[in-house]
């Protein structure tokens, strides 16, 4: 499992409408650098290959329990495109995502930690 570069937990209400889940979370960033993990830095928690350019996120385990499944596509307000859930975080984190930034450590540090709203399709909504 890849480890977080930066982090903290955050609260926020869940909004489910029209089959879409909207949730405010804390977002940090991470890289696939050997110094930032105890395992293979290019492999996510479910065996997905991570490489620079891939739009991926790691999610806190409480988000998995809320229906944000491995492989789900997520939009992150303020960022273009859709991100795929390809990794999970240590169980100590709650309401948190980690945005994959390849090997660009400076970009991850520049992102820092900030609140964002994420959206995904809720299957049981």
SS3 sequence of 19-36: CEEEEEEEEEEECCCHHH
Binning pLDDT at 50, 70 and 90, where does residue 35 land?
confident
Q: Averaged over 55-64, what is the pLDDT?
A: 94
Give the helix ranges, DSSP H, for 3-99: 61-65
Task: State yes or no: pLDDT of 125 exceeds 90.
Answer: no
Does the pTM of the predicted model rise above 0.85?
A: no
CA dist., res. 122 & res. 72, Å (int): 10
**Do residues 24 and 117 lie in contact, with contact meaning Cβ atoms separated by under 8 Å?**
yes
Kindly give the pairing relationship between strand 96-100 and strand 56-59.
antiparallel
């Amino acid at each position: 499992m890849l480890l977080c570069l930066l982090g903290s937990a955050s609260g926020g209400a869940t909004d489910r409408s029209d089959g879409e889940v909207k949730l405010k979370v804390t977002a940090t960033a991470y890289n696939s650098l050997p110094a930032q993990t105890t395992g293979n830095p290019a492999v996510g928690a479910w065996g997905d290959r991570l490489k620079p350019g891939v739009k991926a996120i790691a999610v806190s385990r409480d988000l998995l329990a809320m229906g944000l499944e491995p492989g789900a596509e997520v939009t992150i307000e303020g960022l273009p495109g859709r991100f795929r859930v390809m990794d999970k975080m240590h169980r100590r984190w709650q309401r948190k995502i980690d945005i994959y930034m390849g090997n660009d450590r400076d970009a991850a540090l520049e992102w820092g930690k900030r609140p964002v709203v994420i959206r995904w399709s809720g299957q049981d909504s």
